[in-house]
Amino acid sequence: MDEDSGYDSDDALLELDGVTKYFGQDSGLLAGLEFEPDQFPPVNVNRETVKAVDDVSLEIQPGETLGLVGESGCGKSTLGRTILRLLEPTDGDIYFKGENLADLGGEELRRMRSDMQMIFQDPQSSLDPRMKVGQIIEEPMRAHDMLDDEGRRARAKELLEKVGLDPRHYNRHPHAFSGGQRQRINLARALSVDPDFVVCDEPVSALDVSIQAQVLNTMESLQEEFGLTYLFIAHDLSVIRHISDRVAVMYLGHIVELAEKEELFENPQHPYTRALLDSIPVPDPRENGVRGVLEGEVPSPVDPPSGCRFRTRCPRLIAPDAYDWSEEKWAQTRAFMRAVKRRSFEPMPAARIEAEFFDGDRPGGEAGSIVDEAIELVASDGSAGGNDDDETDRWVTATDLLLESFAEQSICAHERPAYDLESEHGNGDHFAACHLHR
Amino acid sequence: MSSEPLLRVENLKTQFFTEEGTVRAVDGISFEVREGEIVGLVGESGAGKSVASMSIMGLVESPGEIVGGEITYKGETLFGLEEGPDGDLQERDDMLSSEEIRTRIRGNEIAVIFQDPMESLNPVFTVGGQLREFIELNRGLSEDEARAEAIDMLREVGIPDPEERYDEYPHQFSGGMRQRVLIAMALACEPSLIIADEPTTALDVTVEGQILDLVDDLQEKYGTSFIWVTHDLGVVAEICDRVNVMYLGEIVEKATVDDLFYDTKHPYTNALLNSIPRPDRTVTELEAIEGVMPEAISPPSGCRFHPRCPDAREVCKRAHPDVKVVADGDGEPHQAACVKHDAFDAGYDQSPSLEGVAVDAGPAAAQEPESELTANPAGDDSGGENRE
């Protein structure tokens, strides 16, 4: 189908260049309107955007599986949908077989879609309950005018067998199948138009473990047989490790690390990737890993942190250059700063705060005096202590003081990191968005 | 094992009477929970683990019913049957009334944490208000005392800025925070036993790690026992002391967590362990378990796992094994329900292999998952993860 497109199979099958997707929160007539009694007119039109995917660039080679992993809300599904142009990208270019999808009009795009298919997470809701399995699988072929009735029927039956179902189930309805079998029907439907590229959005996460393995194995053998290229989106690192050739880790709309599978899992270079890997419960009782290494939660994508988006939770936030301190003192100050920000400790006397966070020894110099000031603000025996009314204000002042003096001064807050590293395993590229590698 | 366990479940049977027939969701399981330990109840969806834990709380609803067995908690009978004068089974006299279970046991002695924190919290009341009311009712404190206690509990489970967040509504909390609130609620009356039904399944891994850490800390502090219901063997390895593996309404293996992973005795547990992808090493080929779990409405004859079992032989179609001690794992008996072990003496070694004839293995073979909607009417988890 694509012989005339001038696409050379040595090139990347899919190339993303600065792909960005923002969602406006302005759907609906009165959305985003806020009442502001202090001004005239007393309304404020709030045009906030959710920065779901922000400036993502990557390549996918023909025949490979690129794993895309991240926590919920990090933008991985949005990226998958944007690639297929089920969502219009806000910015950036998507090249499929060398052609810019943004340049394609309706009919051309529609034809291109027969080369790009998608499998969804929920096997119940992605199949029309009123259609028979045969019809479901034939529908994409009909939409793309492939084959005649007889040919489509034969192909549907062949595909049913290929995905591990009985071709005699051609006339059954989806409800007669279990979750794993329904996901196989989804596979057959996606493959019916002979695509080159399939976006798999959490295809096995709704399935039981024993069924998960069956479906993963089928997906792998189909990839081999039909020469498919997968973008495999999942939150489960074990599944990603099993199926991927290369892995991209996403956090809050950015790709933070991208490397070959073995390299990424054995030699992770981004603190977020490390935290993710440390958090997975390992099915081995003799493995006593650290857990819960990350504090807090993913910030809102409406107003993501500047520079490195992970910096607000990063256990290795880089010390600001303005002050002179040891690694240990900075670690203590960082912990204190976050504890104040989250108000995660009860008000206590200054001496106890000092003992608890700084081993009784505050940092010296200019940094020390800022820390002193903050302790003074939140301590129960501080100058303003005992007065409950402005307690919240004092905590906020202390938080602002600490964040502005320290966190905002770090290189992590100023520049968006992007570094290419040497791989230790294999010879692929290793991209890590962390200033520790500057 | 000299002292009486905290909770003893014996030969528990819970059935659902549906139009299609009787679903034997829990079919004669026995296990115990001792003080201060975390006991895992592991299995795939439809194995009956949620129904089993709800049976302990007396929360099985029609058309479901506990039809047999005995549940003893701290020497008191939560459920028990005896033969009445007319030959029918009737509830025993020493069984606690539902009134007593409601006021004295639930919340105060045994608490539950469910999978979906959004469904367990009332969306129209503030988080703090719900927690306060719960403490007020169960512990008889005044409103102000209960409020102070509620704020303390919220801080205890790691909710930042608890005074402020006390007045917020559930939708203003993230999934992990809501689960923390539920843990606070479960702990509020310092129960001796908490039943946690897939409490971390809907959460992201980093949040799951935080919650598991929290449970570890709290368990150390309060010495609470847990029944941890999950399908995730990773979580089991992290947190459980002893494990019961369930398949199709039955417990097929009971062991300490170390024995379960390193000296696996039941082919199902083994198959489960081999079928999961590993985060800590690259597995090139996953050994999937063939077929799907049959329906509890018409379980296969003999050993219920035999149609999918790689070790199945002719005898497995006939002999129905109950769990027996098959090994002595450091003073803690290791039990399994598989006739291939000598303890069963069922002639497994002489029995011909089932290779190739697995297709005609009973009415519920893998090809016919016709009415899976009825397989688990109690609404067990879908075996799934969070959906975006």
Per-residue model confidence as pLDDT tens digits over B56-66: 888 888 888 89
Helix A133-143 vs helix A149-162: crossing angle, to nearest 10: 120
Share of chain A above pLDDT 90, in %: 31
| Cα of B290 to nearest chain A Cα, Å | 8
Pick the CATH number of B7-109+191-350 from 3.30.420.40, 3.40.50.2300, 3.30.565.10, 3.40.50.300: 3.40.50.300
Q: What pLDDT shows up at residue A33?
A: 65
The answer on pLDDT for A245 being more than 90 is yes
Q: Do B383 and A208 touch (CB under 8 A)?
A: yes
* A106, containing H or E segment: helix A106-112
The answer on pLDDT for A360 being more than 70 is yes
Q: What pLDDT shows up at residue A117?
A: 92
Of all residues in chain A, the one with the smallest CA distance to B235 is A281
Q: What pLDDT shows up at residue B9?
A: 93
Question: Contacts of residue A175 in chain B, CB cutoff 8 Å?
Answer: 373
Rg (CA), chain A: 26
Nearest to A187 by CA among A158, A147, A217, A218: A218
Query: Is this structure's pTM higher than 0.80?
Result: yes
Q: Do A206 and B277 touch (CB under 8 A)?
A: no
Q: Do B286 and A242 touch (CB under 8 A)?
A: yes
The answer on pLDDT for B269 being more than 80 is yes
Q: Do B386 and A235 touch (CB under 8 A)?
A: yes
Nearest to A243 by CA among A64, A430, A423, A78: A64
CATH 3.40.50.300 fits A3-26+46-244, yes or no: yes
The answer on pLDDT for B360 being more than 60 is no
Q: Do A277 and B271 touch (CB under 8 A)?
A: no
Q: Where are the domains of chain B?
A: 7-109+191-350
Average pLDDT value for residue range B191-205: 87
Classify A67 as helix, strand or coil: strand
Neighbours of B167 (CB within 10 A): 11
Contacts of A385 (CB under 8 A, 6+ apart): A347, A379
Contacts of A398 (CB under 8 A, 6+ apart): A340, A373, A374, A377, A378
A302 contacts A49 by C-beta, under 8 angstroms: yes
Kindly give the pairing relationship between strand A197-201 and strand A229-234: parallel
Contacts of B140 (CB under 8 A, 6+ apart): none
Q: What pLDDT shows up at residue A369?
A: 86
Per-residue model confidence as pLDDT tens digits over B85-123: 777 777 887 888 888 888 888 888 999 988 777 778 899
Average pLDDT of chain B, as a whole number: 83
Per-residue model confidence as pLDDT tens digits over A26-62: 656 666 666 767 777 676 666 678 888 999 999 999 9
Q: What pLDDT shows up at residue B363?
A: 40
Per-residue model confidence as pLDDT tens digits over A256-305: 999 999 999 999 999 999 988 888 888 888 877 666 678 777 888 888 88
Q: What pLDDT shows up at residue A200?
A: 93
The answer on pLDDT for B240 being more than 50 is yes
Which of B245, B263, B281, B385 to mutate: most A Cβ within 10 Å?
Answer: B385
Average pLDDT value for residue range B310-323: 88
Question: Contacts of residue A284 in chain B, CB cutoff 8 Å?
Answer: 237, 261, 280
How many A-B residue pairs are in contact by the CB < 8 A criterion? 187
Helix residue spans in A144-285 (DSSP H): 149-162, 179-191, 209-226, 237-243, 261-266, 271-279
Q: For residue A281, give the nearest of B214, B237, B277 by CB distance.
A: B237
Q: What pLDDT shows up at residue A156?
A: 92
Which of A121, A200, A210, A232 to mutate: most B Cβ within 10 Å?
Answer: A210
Nearest to A140 by CA among A126, A123, A125: A126
